């Protein structure tokens, strides 16, 4: 028997949740064939078979939490008897479905709803309409001589009418309970940790995007032909961020106990939205990357995030984060820190607005910038100056190339 174990993940991840078994008990497998998907706090990993054989036992069901080093399956040689474990013999309990009650509508009500005019009497029946409750002497004598069982409640009291069943109408009010994924739980924990720990404050500025847009329009074709990737906006912002971090290094630092830990490098986390949630892969040594390298790596992060192919190492670390809510139409927001980092820059929607230039009102493509920072180690002067430096780099891209 060959045991299939949960592999070593990373120093900060010790467990995961099994998602989907790709093979069933009795299936033949080859070496390095994907056996099951494992969801961690950060990514979804694929556990492969260590050798060829037959899947003889499954020791952990889908949705169960497993630890690093735990045996989750066993492989046998081809031709060996298959031994089904209790996990594989147990079928998941049926999901209870809300009971649907069929309301039978009386024929009288159905016809009345379908065609009210067809059932509307031309003359009021006896005991109804104007004068209801007044009985002629002959009618009164007939009621007094009739047997009690022959007298209807309507005849005794015309105001008492038989109850008619009313169909229950209205939209369905169903509810669903879905457990949060490990990634969503981890995001919630980290965001709440940042809110509870850091003294967060946000400062704003706005930037004229016309210089960068004109530069992109002028060189986009030659840039793509020469580098095989499109020239986007994020690469300019990453360059401007790295340039500003060198001027204000405390923005790139973090709290470590009673110390401030400074970083001489810029590992920029770029928030990427995937189908399973928000992930933040890190651009290592972004300060030495070219515009083409930045665009190439960000594009690769986006593709692999949706394909669930990011590695844990690519999501760890980072000294500063940038997030772009403008791609979803956000005009302004206050981003939350990505702990243990001390600052995060939020980009927003580019919108044509009237601004004053040289004493005249002109229309320019403007974007709001929002810098959230940890006020425990970053003063307002440094935060505002850092954001102004990013603004200058975007409005005058030559400063980034000349390192001014």
Tell me the C-alpha distance between 27 and 35, whole Å: 11
The alpha helices in 70-181, defined as continuous H runs, are 86-89, 107-114, 116-119, 137-145, 153-156
Tell me the C-alpha distance between 350 and 394, whole Å: 13
Q: CA dihedral defined by 107, 109, 115, 120, rounded to 10 degrees?
A: 110
Tell me the C-alpha distance between 50 and 306, whole Å: 27
Angle at 139 between CA 137 and CA 141, to 5 degrees: 70
* Contacts with 63 (C-beta within 8 Å, 6 or more apart), sequence order: 17, 18, 19
267 is catalytic: no
| Cβ contact 247:386 at 8 Å | yes
The CA-to-CA distance between both ends of the chain, in Å, stands at: 65
- Which tokens is 66 given? 């497993």
SS3 assignment, position 176: coil
* Contacts with 152 (C-beta within 8 Å, 6 or more apart), sequence order: none
**DSSP-assigned letters across all residues of 121-139:** -SSPPTT-STTTT---HHH
263 is catalytic: no
The alpha helices in 289-355, defined as continuous H runs, are 291-306
**DSSP-assigned letters across all residues of 355-385:** EEETTEEEEEEEEEEEEEEETTT--HHHHHH
- Selecting among 263, 293, 375, 396, the annotated active-site residue is 375
321: β partners = 269, 344
Tell me the C-alpha distance between 126 and 134, whole Å: 10
203: β partners = 371
353: β partners = 364
- Selecting among 27, 379, 396, 403, the annotated active-site residue is 379
* Contacts with 76 (C-beta within 8 Å, 6 or more apart), sequence order: 1, 2, 53, 54, 56, 82, 83
Report the half-sphere exposure of 312 (CA within 13 A, side-chain side). Answer: 19
For the annotated catalytic residues, the residue numbers are: 375, 379
């Amino acid at each position: 028997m060959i045991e299939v174990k949960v592999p070593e993940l990373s120093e900060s991840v010790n467990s995961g949740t099994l998602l989907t078994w790709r093979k069933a008990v009795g299936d033949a497998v080859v070496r390095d064939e994907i056996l099951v998907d494992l969801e961690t706090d950060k990514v979804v990993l694929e556990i492969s078979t260590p050798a060829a054989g037959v899947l003889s036992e499954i020791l952990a069901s889908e949705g169960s939490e497993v630890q690093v080093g735990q045996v989750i399956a066993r492989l046998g040689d081809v031709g060996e008897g298959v031994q089904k474990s209790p996990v594989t013999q147990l079928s998941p309990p049926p999901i209870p479905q809300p009971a649907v009650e069929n309301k039978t509508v009386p024929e009288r009500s159905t016809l009345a709803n379908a065609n009210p005019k067809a059932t509307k009497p031309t003359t009021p029946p006896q005991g109804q309409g104007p004068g209801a409750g007044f009985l002629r002497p002959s009618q009164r004598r007939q009621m007094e001589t009739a047997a009690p069982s022959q007298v209807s409640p309507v005849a005794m009291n015309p105001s008492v009418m038989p109850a008619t069943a009313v169909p229950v109408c209205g939209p369905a009010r169903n509810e669903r309970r879905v457990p949060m994924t490990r990634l969503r739980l981890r995001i919630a924990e980290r965001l709440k940790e940042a809110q509870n720990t850091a003294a967060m404050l946000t400062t704003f500025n706005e930037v004229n995007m016309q210089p960068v847009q004109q530069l992109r329009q002028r060189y986009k074709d030659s840039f793509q032909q020469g580098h095989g990737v499109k020239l986007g906006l994020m690469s300019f912002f990453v360059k401007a961020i790295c340039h500003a971090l060198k001027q204000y290094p405390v923005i790139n630092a973090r709290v470590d106990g009673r110390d401030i830990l400074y970083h001489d490098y810029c590992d920029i986390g770029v928030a990427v939205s995937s189908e399973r949630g928000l992930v933040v892969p890190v651009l290592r040594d972004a300060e030495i990357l070219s515009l083409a390298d930045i665009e190439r790596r960000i594009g690769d992060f986006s593709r692999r995030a949706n394909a669930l192919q990011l590695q844990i190492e690519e999501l760890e670390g980072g000294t500063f984060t940038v997030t772009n809510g403008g791609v979803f139409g956000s005009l302004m927001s206050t981003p939350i820190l990505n702990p243990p980092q001390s600052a995060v820059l939020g980009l927003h929607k580019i919108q044509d607005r009237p601004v004053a230039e040289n004493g005249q009102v002109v229309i320019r493509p403007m974007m709001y910038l929002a810098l959230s920072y940890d006020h425990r180690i970053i003063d307002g002067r440094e935060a505002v100056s850092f954001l102004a430096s990013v603004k200058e780099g975007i409005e005058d891209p030559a400063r980034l190339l000349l390192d001014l």
